[in-house]
């Protein structure tokens, strides 16, 4: 009885499915930041802890997918894209989830509450960052279509458009960051100085979230350019 036919094994397991699932997890991770932020605003630390736990779990799952992809990528696998680009892409993706976890960690640990004046701009800023990650996920889904078509011209145009929108979102997040920093600067004298230090850090990290999402886009561009 033939169980492991070499002809079957000839078609290796495609690494693209874990890649897609991974960005979906990362995007879910980032999405959870918004309810977490709302909970911290009203000082509901129990709810915040729960959201933090969800984020940690998602981050672990993303890690598992990353390992799976790396294990699935032996040197003998023949792929339509460069192996190093693929590994680079997954590590950039992975950093999105990590950053989301870091943000919740520091905010929960220090029981940080964003000052009321900053709440709305921060909420918008966070939303933009999350939208950027979401956009990166959409672009990656396009990769599947691109693979289906054997890198057809039309699909790559769609992909380029998605990446263009991603860049735009990241710029928007940048502008929001500048505005928030300015607002914080105006009120920082009224606040406890160490809190201000960490607030700047959180603002920075949310910016990094969208930066990394944008990096996913540029890695994708490299991946599909050749």
Binding-site ranges for another protein (CB under 8 A): 1-16, 74, 76-80, 145, 147-155, 158
Q: Measured from the CB of residue 32, what is the shortest distance to another protein in angstroms?
A: 24
CA proximity to 60, closest of 22, 32, 16? 22
Q: What are the tokens at 150?
A: 């054997």
Complex with another protein: residue 8 or 193, whichever CB lies closer: 8
Q: Measured from the CB of residue 125, what is the shortest distance to another protein in angstroms?
A: 30
Rg for the chain, CA atoms, rounded: 20
Complex with another protein: residue 130 or 155, whichever CB lies closer: 155
Q: Measured from the CB of residue 18, what is the shortest distance to another protein in angstroms?
A: 12
Complex with another protein: residue 86 or 130, whichever CB lies closer: 86
Complex with another protein: residue 3 or 193, whichever CB lies closer: 3
Q: Measured from the CB of residue 74, what is the shortest distance to another protein in angstroms?
A: 7
Complex with another protein: residue 77 or 187, whichever CB lies closer: 77
Q: Which residues fall within 8 angstroms of residue 140, CB to CB, at 6 or more apart?
A: 19, 20, 23, 216, 220
Q: What are the tokens at 60?
A: 């672990």
Q: Reduce the DSSP state of residue 217 to 3 states and report it.
A: helix
User: Alpha-carbon dihedral of residues 170, 172, 173, 177, nearest 10 degrees?
Assistant: 140
Q: Measured from the CB of residue 11, what is the shortest distance to another protein in angstroms?
A: 5
CA proximity to 39, closest of 54, 49, 29, 31? 49
C-alpha distances (whole Å) from 155 to each of 74, 81, 148, 160, 186 are 28, 16, 10, 9, 47
């Amino acid at each position: 009885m033939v169980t492991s036919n070499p002809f079957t094994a000839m078609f290796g397991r495609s690494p693209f499915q874990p890649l897609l699932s991974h960005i979906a997890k990362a995007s879910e991770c980032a999405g959870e930041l918004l309810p977490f932020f709302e909970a911290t605003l009203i000082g509901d630390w129990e709810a915040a802890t729960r959201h933090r736990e969800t984020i940690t779990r998602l981050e672990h799952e993303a890690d598992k997918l990353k390992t799976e992809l790396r294990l699935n990528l032996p040197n003998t696998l023949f792929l339509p894209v460069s192996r190093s680009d693929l590994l680079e892409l997954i590590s950039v993706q992975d950093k999105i989830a990590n950053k989301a976890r870091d943000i919740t960690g520091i905010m929960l640990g220090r029981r940080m509450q964003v000052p009321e004046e900053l709440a709305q701009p921060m909420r918008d800023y966070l939303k933009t960052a999350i939208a950027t990650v979401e956009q990166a996920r959409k672009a990656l889904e396009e990769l599947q279509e691109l693979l289906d078509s054997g890198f057809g011209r039309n699909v790559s145009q769609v992909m380029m458009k998605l990446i263009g929108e991603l860049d735009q979102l990241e710029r928007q997040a940048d502008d929001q960051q500048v505005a928030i920093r300015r607002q914080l600067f105006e009120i920082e004298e009224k606040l406890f100085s160490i809190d201000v230090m960490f607030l700047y850090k959180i603002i920075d990290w949310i910016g990094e979230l969208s930066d990394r999402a944008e990096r996913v886009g540029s890695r994708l561009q490299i991946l599909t350019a050749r």
